[in-house]
Amino acid sequence: MTRARLVVLVSGAGSNLQALIDATADPAYGAEVVAVGADRDGIEGLARAERSGIATFAQRVGDHGSRAEWDAALAERVASYRPDLVVLAGFMKLVGDDFLAAFGGRTVNTHPALSPAFPGMHGPRDALEYGVKVTGATLFVVDAGVDTGAIVAQTVVPVADDDTTETLHERIKVAERAMLVDTVGRMAREGFRVEGRRVRFGRFASADESH
């Protein structure tokens, strides 16, 4: 079986990345991480990749003349690894037009809230402050909005009375890592198609829309 090529983009600790790296140790998982990129240097996410012998790169916005130039450079660098699927795993930047032109429909992002509730950078904090009793994580196909893309998978996590943002986010991340590994594996092994807001697994006749 040919393994799907994953490029993973990170901005921080990289525990979701590590879960993917661990899963890909089994060839039956159906995917391999061919490169890990970041928008900054010196983060644990990049160190995790290096320890596993995976190629790494950093593209910092500040090294480019504009956000659009950064986005084009990021897209070019990711393209050089010929990914089948790009996984944003704690990547704290919005990708732009050039990136979406190259990888739209085959870039997924994991978000620590149940979309469409609580988009943005502070999903766990916003859910806690709102007072919801359940929250969770969402894996979606990236589009031009902020956490608005078609949903591939969600996982539910109860909110405890004594939760802080930190304890809640840590518990979300346990469920999130399992969801990410399960779902990316299915996408790699089974293929998928985005139909409007719905994502279906499986391989389909019209090759231009399925991956």
Q: Point out which residues bind ligand GAR (CB under 6 A).
A: 10, 12-17, 45, 89-90, 92, 110-112, 121, 123, 173, 176
Helix axes 15-23, 44-51, angle to 10 degrees: 20
Residues 111, 122, 169, 211: which is the catalytic one? 111
Q: Where are the alpha helices (DSSP H) in the chain?
A: 15-23, 44-51, 67-79, 97-103, 123-130, 165-190
Task: Return the number of the residue (13 or 55) whose C-beta is nearest ligand GAR.
Answer: 13
**Distance, CA of 127 to CA of 136 (rounded, Å):** 9
Does 64 participate in catalysis according to the annotation?
A: no
**Distance, CA of 201 to CA of 83 (rounded, Å):** 19
Task: Return the number of the residue (91 or 103) whose C-beta is nearest ligand GAR.
Answer: 91
Task: Return the number of the residue (14 or 83) whose C-beta is nearest ligand GAR.
Answer: 14
Q: What single-letter DSSP state applies at residue 115? A: T
Q: How far is the CB of 31 from ligand GAR (least distance, A)?
A: 17
SS (H, E, C) 5-61: EEEEEECCCCHHHHHHHHHCCCHHHCEEEEEEEECCCCCHHHHHHHHCCCEEEECCH
Q: How far is the CB of 34 from ligand GAR (least distance, A)?
A: 18
Q: How far is the CB of 26 from ligand GAR (least distance, A)?
A: 20
Cis bond upstream, residue 116 (ω within 30)? yes
Q: How far is the CB of 145 from ligand GAR (least distance, A)?
A: 12
Task: Return the number of the residue (110 or 135) whose C-beta is nearest ligand GAR.
Answer: 110
Which single residue brings its beta carbon nearest to ligand GAR? 90
Catalytic residues: 111
